[in-house]
Chain A
Amino acid sequence: MPLSEATTFDPAAYIAPHDAAADAAALAALAQWCERFSPLVGLDQHASFAPGIQPSSGVPDYLLLDVTGLASHFGGEPALARQVAEALEQRGYCVRVALAGTLSAAWALAHYATQSAQRLVPADADPPGGGSTYLVVSATDSWTVLQSLPIRALRLPADTIALLEQLGLLQIGQLAALPRGSLASRFGDLLLQRWDQLRGQAAEVLVAHRAPPVFQADRFLEHPTDRHPVLVSLLAQMLVQVVRHVAARGAGVLALECHLRCAMSARRQQARPDPSSVTAEAETVTLRINLFQPTVSVEHLTQLVQLQLEQLVLPGLVEQLVLEAVHTAPLVRRQRELFPDRGRSAPLQLAQLVDRLSSRLGSAAVVRPQLEADRQPERAFRYVSLTARRRTRSRAPQPAFQGLHGACLARPLHLRSPPLALPVIAVVPDGPPVRFHFQRRTHHIARYWGPERIETGWWRGRSVRRDYYRVETDQGHWFWIFRQLDDNQWFLHGLFG
């Protein structure tokens, strides 16, 4: 009923807005709980046609349990259905349970066969919400029950239902009398599909709901401490727990988060003007460790945690530790080698090295260069962090200096960024450089290679137009200098190492 009507009936009624996300979360929790009845519990939605429920898109609104072959463990199908209904009712839910030969049939019966369903509690007891019901229809006589159900029980779109009802097709059984071919052409393929699914002639897949597992360990310290060795050994113990769970799923830890809840130290509390406000105050310090490769090595992870902890200044005594594996990924199984080589190409050891380095130095400090398709020298590459999570791996670009193959010395080993303005003397205005001044002395150019003209970057607003010269001084030193064509200004861009 509309809200205005409800308030007329009872002005004191408690009104709460509908929270679809909370509904979905509750149903997901219920799905997990229902795994005691069946190993395959699915969440599904067909909100628009359940009576009494407002249509809402994208939110699952019923549970599917695959109980094939399981009834004997619960003392038969009626007993199983009853147990499910009772257990859910005990949790405070009013449920309609139907058990049938096909998934579609069970859905139709649960939603529309309210008359033939059995009540858990006698109707005269008048339980709130009408009471939970359960219904078991064996495969042999399901058809007789289903025939009399309304056409809405077929889980069809609203416009198809409306069309069918306009044509006077009100019950499922009426469809049986119609020629199959004309049904598809008039009402769409979905009708036939639902029809076949209802009769068990077409398969229907139950997608099991699996909540993403949480790998977490938690430790409360009776004696708060800030001594690092103690914290490290406690974290190591917790890591063992977390890693064991992760490893049991054939996965490895890829990112780890470690929260240290610190009580404010007494000194800090005194510093506060109002001591009463800090009595319950605690500060949480979070360490985050990203790994290059998934691992289950507790030793390695402990080392990484320790490296970060060493650099941390704790605001107070730690009273609670929470450790969580935030990202996990399937572990790459490595076969042990019978004759291990020198370990030179061991990716595992390299991954551990990368983890250690980036744990202490930060992931921006441990990088791998990638070439970019850009002619401008300072943009010809970029660094990618090895431990920061990247979803997409960029395709290998065509390096812009493909034409330089066979010119191994065409680029300097050190690049000045930004380029250093140089006083250069060139005899001819557009000619090669003769000498330049750098690092408190004048370099006379003995030989030069070039110019290599680079004109690019116009799409970035300021186009780059440069003539690059690779020069050898009379001392035998090699530099990479360029003349900016716009203003004839010279710059030093690189040193050849």
Chain B
Amino acid sequence: MNSPIPILNPPTALLVDSLRARLARWEAGRPERDPARISSGCPALDRLLPWGGLPRGVLIECLEEEEEAGAGGAGMVALLLARQAALEGGAIVVLDPQHVFYPPAAVLLGIDLDALLVVRVSQVRDQLWALDQCLRCPAVAAVWAPLAQLSARDFRRLQLAAESGSGLGILVRGSAARRQPSWSALQLSIHPCVCGREEVRTGRRLRVELARCRQVWSGGTVELEIDEVTGVMQAVSGPHEAYSVPPAAELAYSASGRRSARA
């Protein structure tokens, strides 16, 4: 669906064969594993994702539980994913419209400042332009951008930019984005985990929900803890998948299919 079927007049038998192979792949429940994927840094989260990690050249949305808080963990998960994407080299671009980004936190999380670029623009038009430019640049491994509002047209434009640059565009958004059309390959909803006063732990515990995802039925969750000492995401429990073996029919007509057709 996402890659067009080759129609350069192949013999019919070949075409049928390729269609059959494709159907078999769908029915296997999981799409082909992309060799160019990035590990999210947490094996349990990788298992939850249909690609066995994060694919390159896509947009990923990390949704806050609340609209305005900025303390619920989505930004941090997004930055950790950006760090993972930059492990093989490449720069991380941080879009900082409100001039609040605090680089020492990034240093503590293990991000090399020499590979970090901060773009501080306040106008939405310039933000989108800068985001587009950064995503198109092949030297940029990941872009971390808090974006509240994003029109369908701009979203699609950013998706195309990410595809051409093959970097990772990680958008930190509020929960309202969950009800809006999305051109991202992956929508992760981040929920902070509440624990009792008597429970002893040092890290930060978050529940990551696969709110929307191309190619698989969404709804799986994994509970993570960001380790205080190493800054690594470790699974506490999960992944819990909503549907362990998604039916092929539903897969073939997944939400993403409808979305890309609309686009």
Contact = CB atoms under 8 A, between A and B. Distances in A.
Nearest to A380: B104
B102 interface: yes
A401 to B, nearest CB: 6
B231 A408 contact: yes
A368 B92 CA distance: 11
B193 interface: yes
Interface string B106-139: 1111100110111111000010011001100111
B79 interface: yes
Nearest to B88: A344
A409 B203 contact: yes
Contacts of B203: 409
Nearest to B100: A414
A413 B75 contact: yes
Most buried by A among B72, B129, B191: B72
B237 to A, nearest CB: 16
B73 A496 contact: yes
B126 A409 contact: no
Contact of B139 (A349, A401, A447, A474): A349
B117 A354 contact: yes
B102 A494 contact: yes
Contacts of A357: 119, 130, 133-134
Interface in B50-81: 68-76, 78-79
A461 to B, nearest CB: 24
Interface string A377-400: 100110100100000000000010
A478 B118 CA distance: 23
B184 interface: no
Interface stretch (B25-33, B152-160, B222-230, B246-254): B222-230
A291 to B, nearest CB: 15
Given A344-B90, A367-B120, A401-B108, A406 B229 contact: yes
Interface in A470-497: 472-479, 494-497
Interface string B233-261: 00000000000000000000000000000
A285 interface: no
Interface in A235-278: none
B71 A478 contact: yes
A416 B113 contact: no
A497 B194 contact: no
Nearest to B141: A344
Contact of B229 (A344, A366, A407, A479): A407
A478 B73 contact: yes
Contacts of A494: 102
A369 B139 contact: no
B43 interface: no
A413 B101 contact: yes
Interface in A401-425: 401, 404, 406-417
Contact of A369 (B99, B118, B192): B118
A190 interface: no
Interface in A432-471: 439, 446-447
Most buried by A among B99, B116, B194, B196: B194
Contacts of A410: 108
Contacts of A377: 102, 104
Nearest to B192: A476
Interface residues of B, number: 64
B139 A347 contact: yes
Contact of B113 (A368, A478, A497): A368
Nearest to B230: A408
A477 B192 contact: yes
A334 to B, nearest CB: 13
A413 B108 contact: no
A371 interface: yes
A415 B102 contact: yes
Given A446-B195, A497-B73, A344 B138 contact: yes
A14 B72 CA distance: 83
B218 interface: no
B197 interface: yes
Interface string B179-222: 00000000000011111110000011110000000000000000
Contacts of B76: 413, 496-497
Most buried by B among A349, A360, A371, A494: A349
Given A342-B166, A411-B102, A416-B100, A367 B118 contact: yes
B139 A353 contact: yes
B108 A414 contact: no
A409 B107 contact: no
A408 B197 contact: no
Contact of B89 (A345, A360, A417): A345
A495 B70 contact: yes
Given A343-B138, A476-B73, A368 B118 contact: yes
A408 B139 contact: no
Contacts of A417: 99-100
B228 A407 contact: yes
A116 interface: no
B7 interface: no
B229 A353 contact: no
B91 interface: yes
B171 interface: no
A45 interface: no
B1 interface: no
Contacts of A344: 88-90, 138-139, 141
Which 8 pairs from chain A and chain B are nearest by CB? A476-B192, A497-B75, A408-B231, A369-B103, A345-B89, A344-B90, A415-B102, A477-B71
29 contacts: A344-B141, A348-B139, A349-B137, A350-B91, A350-B137, A352-B137, A353-B140, A357-B133, A357-B134, A361-B130, A368-B113, A368-B114, A369-B113, A386-B117, A399-B104, A406-B229, A408-B226, A408-B227, A409-B231, A411-B102, A412-B105, A413-B75, A415-B102, A446-B195, A472-B204, A495-B70, A495-B71, A496-B75, A496-B76
Given A367-B119, A408-B229, A414-B70, 9 more contacts: A357-B134, A365-B120, A367-B120, A369-B116, A417-B100, A477-B71, A478-B192, A495-B69, A496-B73
Interface of B: 68-76, 78-79, 88-91, 99-110, 113-114, 116-121, 126, 129-130, 133-134, 137-141, 166, 172, 191-197, 203-206, 226-231
